[in-house]
Amino acid sequence: MKLGKLAGFLGAFLFGAIFLVSLRSTFESADWTQKPDEAALRRASATLTLPPDAVGEPLDVFSKGTFIGASRNVVTRLAMEDAEHHFADVAARNGWTLTSRRERRAELRLADCAGNVSQIISLRGRAGGTAIFAATYWDSDRSTDLYCRL
């Protein structure tokens, strides 16, 4: 019976040690510079202008530890192609840099760097228009397409 308890203790210890090493490496490899406060994030999100007829949820600001964000879900009567053109114009007007464009099935996802934050747009065609997920993120993880710095 003592051997079983010892094995359980060693297993839990090993799991905890691996977890701590993983957590430490995550925080050490992260770039914590230029992290905006909530007001700066809201200002950056305000530059992500939606189509004039867009209706939906209010802006939701959140923090997940290694990244912070502001997002909203809306719908517009614009066709998906027209909604994409709208956001391409917004990006050009603001001087953003397109970092990712992914299409799959009936969805298009655009990621732009806007200084130290990323502007993410996800468009999904639906009857009579387009559903839009619009978000502004700051991320500390250099390996994601959400990572942007000046």
pLDDT of residue 21: 60
DSSP, res 9: H
Query: What is the value of pTM for the model shown?
Result: 0.79
- CATH at 89: 3.30.160
In the chain, the amino acid numbered 91 is A
Mean pLDDT per block of 10 residues along the chain (150 residues) reads 71 71 60 88 94 94 86 96 97 96 93 95 95 94 85
Same domain, residue pair 112 and 60: yes
Answer yes or no: is 149 within a domain.
no
What total of structural domains would you count in the chain? 2
pLDDT of residue 108: 97
Same domain, residue pair 84 and 48: yes
pLDDT of residue 65: 75
pLDDT of residue 29: 67
Same domain, residue pair 2 and 53: no
Question: Cα dihedral sign for 32, 101, 44, 149?
Answer: positive
Answer yes or no: is 65 within a domain.
yes
Euclidean distance between CA atoms 51 and 131, whole angstroms: 11
Residue ranges making up the domain that contains 54: 38-139
CA distances from 29 to 51, 68, 99, 118 (A): 38, 17, 21, 19
Answer yes or no: is 145 within a domain.
no
Same domain, residue pair 7 and 53: no
